[in-house]
Structure 1
């Protein structure tokens, strides 16, 4: 199926979704749409103030929205564990949407000492997913949706320097993190299927969308980017469509990957996207899985397919 927009999101009554990075950009619009379709939405956000602002905005348009703030700082594995514990207290969990991330940041480290883009964009979702798989499995039809990027096409998994101890290029590190996200989504689904689990894993990317991720670009590029959004690229609202499709479309299968259907997958309505050959490298994915367990201390408990 192609040509998916938020108007095609089916009713989500009775379902609970955990959306990370839900206070702004694509995460906000994913949370907004799911709430208007009657889902209970757990909003994983670093800032409570910004989370409450986002919740008020959604409720202003849809007063019946069922929204819950979940403190989550993906630069801290302790925070990831605390967020997972809070989510486990919920009666059910149907959707885990790993959306939160950073892009093109100056070199920095997470609380646990990881290079920030790899730590926030990939290791935190790996750990969060591993901690919540049993909760998702309690309900038939559980889905994990992990956000990748068209930047994964130029990504490489540099096992010799995952933590940027030797050199740092912000765009290359971003590409690596987004390739890791896509490889994880595909490897997770292979392992879930091999274990006979009911939960599926899918991936999505927003194309090129106008979100706060551009805040680390030079000012002149931010201004230039803003002038062409809508004419060439997606708005944040449109950028949410592939994630919403991955999370809610009835005919989604495990291992699917969704993105915009326009030229170069940069903009347009949502449909099937194409992972690179590198993203489908099972051997590298298995190695990345094992390394991720070592780095995070979280073992999802799934054998290689």
Structure 2
């Protein structure tokens, strides 16, 4: 039988932080986790959308345990403030779902001067994970789930000399590179957990072709071109629902049999049941992970290393 949210064990007593929790995959992930008994921290940028998300979850599950933390992944000062708020309330954190993301944006910069897609999709999550690491390590079996995309297969390597693509920008090339960074981050984080001998695990997921606002926003913002319009129409015609698209990250987050370093995705790449998929080992993978670690720490000023158990 295909894995569904009905297979999630009782999560009573667990605390989960979900980024981008007020819409799309993040909202579905938050709703399902809350329905399974977890205390869910909705970390998101738009207050009105977040209020609506809380109301929707509470309507479905009146006893849901919910908390809101404002989070703008494009501003490291806001990321630090959000992390302090979480840590003050939760010295132990069982789950962090690095879900939020943007796609095919026109060339723009974050508050810290980072290229927008790398800044939001990766560097903001790097900083948040680093800040929350003490609470994740304090949990008996903490998990970090990072959401990537099949777009990573079209990515060029991260150039340490020009990580923000100032010498040549393409909206889709930037998105692919950011999603490859998500993959390398998830794998590199698991390596560090293993070296430190801690039970915390880092897993990866990608949602396939899913009908959320991601495609529509890319078209609205003007960076996606005809490719974005094509994928928006394709998603409307044959894409999965947000709940179906959220199942890979929900399985990575909750399946007792899931292990660090694994990738969960739709069975047929873009659609299908949530299954474990092989991580394709591209040539130079370790070098690329090491480059990502060096660049991320340098650009953010925030190291991310796991202390030994």
* Pair in the same fold by TM > 0.5: yes
Counterpart residue number, 1:246: 252
Whether the 8 Å contact between 1:143 and 1:201 is mirrored in structure 2 is yes
The RMSD of aligned alpha carbons is 2.0
Residue 181 of structure 2 corresponds to residue 180 of structure 1: yes
Residue 266 of structure 2 corresponds to residue 260 of structure 1: yes
Counterpart residue number, 1:288: 292
Match of 2:275 among 271, 296, 299: 271
Q: 1:58 to 1:279 in 2, by over 3 A?
A: farther
Counterpart residue number, 2:206: 205
Whether the 8 Å contact between 2:211 and 2:236 is mirrored in structure 1 is no
Whether the 8 Å contact between 1:153 and 1:276 is mirrored in structure 2 is no
Structure 1 residue runs without a partner (length 5+): none
Residue 99 of structure 2 corresponds to residue 128 of structure 1: no
Residues 81-96 of structure 1 aligned to structure 2 (within 5 Å): 81-91=80-90, 92-96=92-96
Q: How far off is 1:6 after superposition?
A: 1.7
SS in structure 1 at match of 2:89: coil
TM (normalized to structure 2)? 0.92
Residues 211-222 of structure 1 aligned to structure 2 (within 5 Å): 211-214=212-215, 215-217=217-219
SS in structure 2 at match of 1:278: coil
Whether the 8 Å contact between 1:242 and 1:260 is mirrored in structure 2 is yes
Q: 1:239 to 1:280 in 2, by over 3 A?
A: farther
**Deviates most, 64-73 or 228-237:** 228-237
Q: How far off is 1:226 after superposition?
A: 5.9
Q: 1:230 to 1:9 in 2, by over 3 A?
A: farther
Residues 108-123 of structure 1 aligned to structure 2 (within 5 Å): 108-123=108-123
**Deviates most, 286-295 or 212-221:** 212-221
Structure 2 residue runs without a partner (length 5+): none
Q: 1:77 to 1:224 in 2, by over 3 A?
A: same
Q: How far off is 1:47 after superposition?
A: 1.3
TM (normalized to structure 1)? 0.93
Deviations 1:30-59 (A, max 9, x none): 000000001000000101111011000111
Deviations 1:50-103 (A, max 9, x none): 101100011111111111110000010001111111110123310000000100
Q: 1:220 to 1:178 in 2, by over 3 A?
A: closer
Counterpart residue number, 1:38: 37
**Deviates most, 201-210 or 83-92:** 83-92
SS in structure 2 at match of 1:59: helix
Deviations 1:242-297 (A, max 9, x none): 000000000011100110002xx101110112333238701210121011101111
Q: How far off is 1:111 after superposition?
A: 0.1
Could you tell me how far apart the structure 1 residues matched to 2:234 and 2:290 are? 40
Q: How far off is 1:233 after superposition?
A: 2.3
Could you tell me how far apart the structure 2 residues matched to 1:103 and 1:247 are? 23
